[in-house]
Chains A and B, each alone.
Chain A
Amino acid sequence: AQSVTQLDSHVSVSEGTPVLLRCNYSSSYSPSLFWYVQHPNKGLQLLLKYTSAATLVKGINGFEAEFKKSETSFHLTKPSAHMSDAAEYFCVVSDQAKGGKLIFGQGTELSVKP
């Protein structure tokens, strides 16, 4: 069975400092992995996706993630946090055995201090 674990329920950074949101996955297949962002009372917006092409994936708003098979990780990073980055972030894996059903991590709340 496929799963994802987000290692931190809450991360707090200062504006202008780097962001690291951690995600580990478990998959029997070569996984398809995604990061989504959710602002309060909004739907989810796709930040980036990994689909077995380049291991370093660049997304929107300056975010990127690196797929590391040896560590079964797909951590999300950004060099410099902005106040508008404060939101909930979800790491997601696509369960190919179940027709692409998405399996969500528990979410990480990112706070950005001025």
Chain B
Amino acid sequence: GAVVSQHPSWVICKSGTSVKIECRSLDFQATTMFWYRQFPKQSLMLMATSNEGSKATYEQGVEKDKFLINHASLTLSTLTVTSAHPEDSSFYICSARDPRETVANSPLHFGNGTRLTVT
């Protein structure tokens, strides 16, 4: 089945530094990937939709300059948290839809998430 790999699984960084998270589709090509943020004991919040070869589409309230998204190839999307602060500490999860499945009924395949801690 479709596999999405996310790296790193956890990262600790100092306030003011930037952190890059990678999301790869391993056995399919994904023109679109999705980035979610999840706070403790809460549901997933869609941050942005990453589009291969074009600009990402951000959800309302998500800072584009804070969360930089690059989708340079059909199998790789990256999320960079710039000038990270403690309030950016969270669980970030990427996902993608296998294009071999129709959009209407196809599930998203999720990476294992990245636990970001900003000190």
Binding site for B on A (CB under 8 A): 32, 34, 36, 41-46, 49, 51-52, 90, 94, 96, 99-102, 104-107, 109
Q: Can you list 30 A-B pairs with a CB-CB distance of less than 8 A?
A: A32-B105, A36-B107, A36-B110, A41-B9, A41-B10, A41-B113, A42-B113, A43-B4, A43-B6, A43-B93, A43-B95, A43-B110, A43-B111, A43-B113, A44-B93, A44-B95, A44-B108, A44-B110, A46-B107, A49-B105, A51-B105, A94-B104, A94-B105, A96-B103, A96-B104, A100-B106, A101-B46, A102-B46, A102-B108, A106-B42
Q: B58 within 8 Å of A by Cβ?
A: no
The answer for the CA separation of A114 and B107 in the assembled complex, in Å, is 33
The answer for the CA separation of A51 and B102 in the assembled complex, in Å, is 11
**B115's closest neighbor in chain A, by CB?**
A41
With A41-B115, A43-B6, A43-B111 as known contacts, state yes or no: A106 contacts B43, CB within 8 Å: yes
> B42 and A34: CB pair below 8 A?
no
**A42's closest neighbor in chain B, by CB?**
B112
Q: B62 within 8 Å of A by Cβ?
A: no
Q: B24 within 8 Å of A by Cβ?
A: no
Which 4 A-B pairs have CB atoms at the shortest separation, nearest pair first? A51-B105, A43-B110, A100-B103, A44-B110
Chain A min CB distance to B10 (Å): 8
**B106's closest neighbor in chain A, by CB?**
A100
The answer for the CA separation of A99 and B91 in the assembled complex, in Å, is 25
With A101-B46, A104-B43, A106-B43 as known contacts, state yes or no: A45 contacts B110, CB within 8 Å: yes
Q: Which of B3-20 contact A (CB under 8 A)?
A: 4, 6, 9-10
- Please give, as numbers and ranges, the residues of chain A lying within 8 Å of B26 by CB-CB distance: none
- Please give, as numbers and ranges, the residues of chain A lying within 8 Å of B44 by CB-CB distance: 44, 90, 104
Q: Which of B55-101 contact A (CB under 8 A)?
A: 91, 93, 95, 97
The answer for the CA separation of A46 and B4 in the assembled complex, in Å, is 13
> A107 and B43: CB pair below 8 A?
yes
With A41-B91, A43-B6, A100-B97 as known contacts, state yes or no: A49 contacts B107, CB within 8 Å: yes
**A101's closest neighbor in chain B, by CB?**
B46
